[in-house]
Structure 1
Amino acid sequence: MQSSAKIHLRTQTLLLQALRWMTGLPSEARLDFNHRVSPHQLPELMDGDCSYEDFCDCLRSLEQVNRWLLGYRPTLAWLKRLSHGLPHPIHIVDVGCGGGDLLRKIADWAAKEGVAVQLTGMDLNPYSARVAADSTPQKSGITWVTGDALAYRPDKPVDVIVSSLMAHHLEDSDIVLLLRWMEATARLGWFINDLERSEHACLMFACIAKVVRWHPFVRHDGPVSFRRAFRKEDWIHLLAAADVPQEAITIEHWRPGRLCVGRWK
């Protein structure tokens, strides 16, 4: 009788072969997921030049991805650990905010929980603020900023920094700089919500994207993102390089396909 471990391994192998076939990848093809691929070596279409219309449609597809694949859940669960009696309003900054969908979810959560917040979304891409503003009710009071987070000097001190699906767009050296900036800037804590480098998650995403027919940028960039993503040992190395105290960090797996890093001070 085969051991359960062998049966599990065989099942996983057959599943991967099926996923490769569904995505059009030859069964004998093997992508290396043992190491993170540099964004410079493997670019995403979203990071290149494109029209406002393409960028907007891409972000709308990404919002659907986050909604369908439970992408907001890790960040909201982390924010729920905020205790009452904290300074009000809590200033939360979303770095790499894209179309602003995460901050809209945070605004809904804060209203439901009775937490007073000041929300700021910032992104390097000038299209982002325009898409976010067009997609967000004015009554939300969210501020949209175009610029480099490392040069950001807000009028009001920042209490919490969040980031979603942004870190994998950065080279390791830039991630270290970002970690140092978050550590020095956020008074209460910070949270990075990103992807876990996994062949299974990559192929599963590619299958879903092909069936749903999300924007072509998303269908191309999703599998690329998984190859540029992280495993726990990557984050341990990056946090050490940024001199972030390891005992204050949580690194959590969230299905499907997320690996998140949190820090409360």
Structure 2
Amino acid sequence: MTGLRVRQRVPELMDDPALDPAEHRRALVGLARLNRVSDSAGVLWPAIAGLARELKRPIRVLDVATGSGDVPRKLLARATRAPAPARALEVAACDVSPTAIQEAVREPSGVRFFVHDALHDRLPTGFDIVTCSLFLHHLSEDEAIGLLANMENAAGRMILVNDLARSRFNYCAVWLACRLLTRSRVVRFDGPASVRSAFTPQEALAVASRAGLAGATVRSQFPSRFLLAWRRM
């Protein structure tokens, strides 16, 4: 666990284009289980519901780098139990991986899924909120700045980024969770590697500032996460 004071980008198996699709799908299932236990959708939901109450109309959400789409599906499920206007949430989600999108559409939902490279192609506009979960740590600082700028262009009102926070405690917690909750060798390697690659909350705030997100805030979230939030003024 040496070196956690300094960010170390560790190549993750999930990012390998040559990863076997069956192995990729098993990893996506494992990640969805980790997201469910850590309530990734619950990290994002209060801000989404709050904006819906404030604007008194349905909110359009785009989830970037969605993986198997478990987080946007959970958001939509929460919306069905919420009072109006949050109940009428409209959700779309994209990922660069066709394998991930194929897995996402296997489960029927009201989410619109599509393949899109958010690092190199401009995101579609017309959304109130653009979200991203557990992707920022995959990126170099320059790539993270580019992604946040792309999200800002697509977000009419708000950006929400839910990601791992780098620390010794979080490394141990993620290592243990990955062994208890999944047998995927990809997730068991990538989970701890992700914490080594992750930004601290302070580093994430500096990246947001460089991306032009003036007034962004970062708050720690249990377990092992932070939420970066930016609101258009």
TM-score by length of 2: 0.90
1:33 correspondence with 2:1: no
* CA distance in 2: counterparts of 1:204 and 1:171, whole angstroms: 24
Q: Percent identity among equivalent residues? A: 27
Amino acid at match of 1:230: F
Report the Cα offset of residue 232 of structure 1: 2.2
3-state SS in 2 of match to 1:122: strand
* CA distance in 2: counterparts of 1:51 and 1:87, whole angstroms: 46
Structure 2 segments unaligned to the other structure (5+ residues): none
Residue 90 of structure 1 aligns with which residue? 59
User: Does the 8 Å contact 2:13/2:189 carry over to 1?
Assistant: yes
1:249 correspondence with 2:216: yes
- Work out which of the residue numbers 83, 92, 108 in structure 2 matches 1:120: 92
Residue 263 of structure 1 aligns with which residue? 230
* CA distance in 1: counterparts of 2:54 and 2:195, whole angstroms: 39
1:151 correspondence with 2:121: yes
Residue 45 of structure 1 aligns with which residue? 13
Amino acid at match of 1:108: A
* CA distance in 2: counterparts of 1:200 and 1:94, whole angstroms: 28
Q: Matched residue pairs, number?
A: 227
* CA distance in 2: counterparts of 1:172 and 1:256, whole angstroms: 24
* CA distance in 2: counterparts of 1:263 and 1:57, whole angstroms: 33
CA separation of 1:212 and 1:152: change in aligned 2, threshold 3 A: same
User: Does the 8 Å contact 2:30/2:181 carry over to 1?
Assistant: no
Amino acid at match of 1:44: E
Instruction: Spell out, residue by residue over 1:218-258, the C-alpha distance to the aligned partner (whole angstroms, 9 max, x if none).
Output: 1100000000111122123212211221xx32211011100
* CA distance in 1: counterparts of 2:53 and 2:177, whole angstroms: 40
CA separation of 1:96 and 1:241: change in aligned 2, threshold 3 A: same
Report the Cα offset of residue 213 of structure 1: 4.3
Amino acid at match of 2:188: R
* CA distance in 2: counterparts of 1:118 and 1:212, whole angstroms: 31
- Work out which of the residue numbers 96, 102, 105 in structure 2 matches 1:133: 105
Give 1 or 2 for the bigger CA radius of gyration.
1
3-state SS in 2 of match to 1:134: coil
TM-score by length of 1: 0.80
* CA distance in 2: counterparts of 1:232 and 1:141, whole angstroms: 33
Structure 1 segments unaligned to the other structure (5+ residues): 1-29
CA separation of 1:85 and 1:79: change in aligned 2, threshold 3 A: closer
Residue 39 of structure 2 aligns with which residue? 70
* CA distance in 1: counterparts of 2:137 and 2:49, whole angstroms: 25
* CA distance in 1: counterparts of 2:231 and 2:12, whole angstroms: 32
CA separation of 1:50 and 1:264: change in aligned 2, threshold 3 A: same
- Runs of 4+ that moved beyond 4 A: none
User: Does the 8 Å contact 1:175/1:238 carry over to 2?
Assistant: yes
User: Does the 8 Å contact 1:230/1:259 carry over to 2?
Assistant: no
RMSD between aligned alpha carbons?
Answer: 1.8
